[in-house]
A = this chain, B = another copy of it.
């Protein structure tokens, strides 16, 4: 699955470094397999007789009159396939929105192709179908909702009176304004018929089981796919204040102003709040997240006899900074045997950011390890590797998932006349690593649980 191994043969590295690189690549491969959306659904949900079990919940599906499936997101296609393999003809009806051009096959659940990362008319059509199902579900029905990253766009339906275009333009302006993601979401949820708990509210009084594959660091349920089944903590007034704060209120179309003002006056309904009884029968289960992937890598490295820790599954911050820190941990293993004695591995999950100032080509994972290479101690005996990939297989606007460095990368680059500091300053990590043959290619994986970084020191 992962391509890079070819370059390892005969590139003058010591046997130990070669082994370290292979161990890193192998454990990344194991991690990616663990978050395959279809596999996750099939592993986490079990049907024994009529008993459907997932996490701490169990449902006797024979006791429900209807079993509906709804949802959407980039990985919702394979999740639907997995769900059909488990539940088969127990499913009465379903509509799940997936990206255009997907090639998934389901028998009962209708897969509805829509647009990502910006919603289109098809997103709205599919979302209406989903809400139709939710609204017809009754007290004795079970609605299973599949939610994954990309769901915000694939399941989009503005409130009556606002056009898709108006909502999109405002969202774009907010994204550029410096508003925080929570501020942006408070506006989006108040302009939506679906996000911010509306799906759950409309499915009430049915029982709702949400199967969530999280693409947001730390799994904030109200953020993943904009939380269609999760109470909204914000108000119309707050949403309006956000627009005022970023000087977008007077520029907003009158349709949007009207909704927020009507909402403020209590003329239209607020988004569903935590105390709403609609959530009493709603069960949210995160079946897969970054920790699923990083724990799989951890187990794999441990099985090879390495002293291994999972440091965190919620690492955030500037890629450059995080890269330096990973190098300092790698160096500490070499110098003092802390936090682990060699052979050692440290697994880190999360998602970093890059402040682009240069004109180069790269991604956050490639930038992270390039920064690490500047700090890795290059003593004679070292066999340290640091790698980082995006689990979706796409790191920035490149065809690589990430890259890997070892303690000789810096000297190898300078021998080739490459100045690592300059490539970093230009945010040009892709061209740096393509010259060294140290990019990692996975292809698009069809899943996304953020990024995985691994340190191995042998």
List residues of A whose CB falls within 8 A of some B CB: 218, 291, 298, 309-318, 321-322, 324-325, 328-329, 331-332, 336, 338-340, 350, 375
A332 surroundings in chain B (CB, below 8 A): 310-314
A336 surroundings in chain B (CB, below 8 A): 291, 310, 313
A294 to B235: give the CA distance in the assembly, Å: 47
Tell me if B310 and A328 are in contact (CB < 8 A). no
A317 surroundings in chain B (CB, below 8 A): 321, 324-325
Tell me if B331 and A314 are in contact (CB < 8 A). yes
Nearest-neighbor residue (CB-CB) of A339 within chain B: B309
Tell me if B324 and A311 are in contact (CB < 8 A). no
Cβ of A33 to closest chain B Cβ, rounded Å: 20
Oligomer: number of copies: 2
A218 surroundings in chain B (CB, below 8 A): 331
A324 surroundings in chain B (CB, below 8 A): 316-317
User: Looking at the complex, which one of B311, B316, B331 makes contact with A339 (CB distance below 8 Å)?
Assistant: B311
A312 to B312: give the CA distance in the assembly, Å: 15
Cβ of A169 to closest chain B Cβ, rounded Å: 28
A90 to B338: give the CA distance in the assembly, Å: 39
Nearest-neighbor residue (CB-CB) of A310 within chain B: B338
Cβ of A101 to closest chain B Cβ, rounded Å: 35
User: Looking at the complex, which one of B310, B312, B321, B375 makes contact with A321 (CB distance below 8 Å)?
Assistant: B321
User: Looking at the complex, which one of B318, B321, B328 makes contact with A350 (CB distance below 8 Å)?
Assistant: B328
Nearest-neighbor residue (CB-CB) of A309 within chain B: B339
A316 surroundings in chain B (CB, below 8 A): 324-325, 328, 375
Known: A318-B318, A321-B322, A339-B339. A329 touches B313 (CB 8 A): no
A194 to B322: give the CA distance in the assembly, Å: 38
Tell me if B329 and A311 are in contact (CB < 8 A). yes
A316 to B371: give the CA distance in the assembly, Å: 12
Task: List the 6 closest pairs (A to B, CB-CB), nearest first.
Answer: A321-B321, A309-B339, A310-B338, A312-B332, A317-B321, A314-B328
A347 to B311: give the CA distance in the assembly, Å: 13
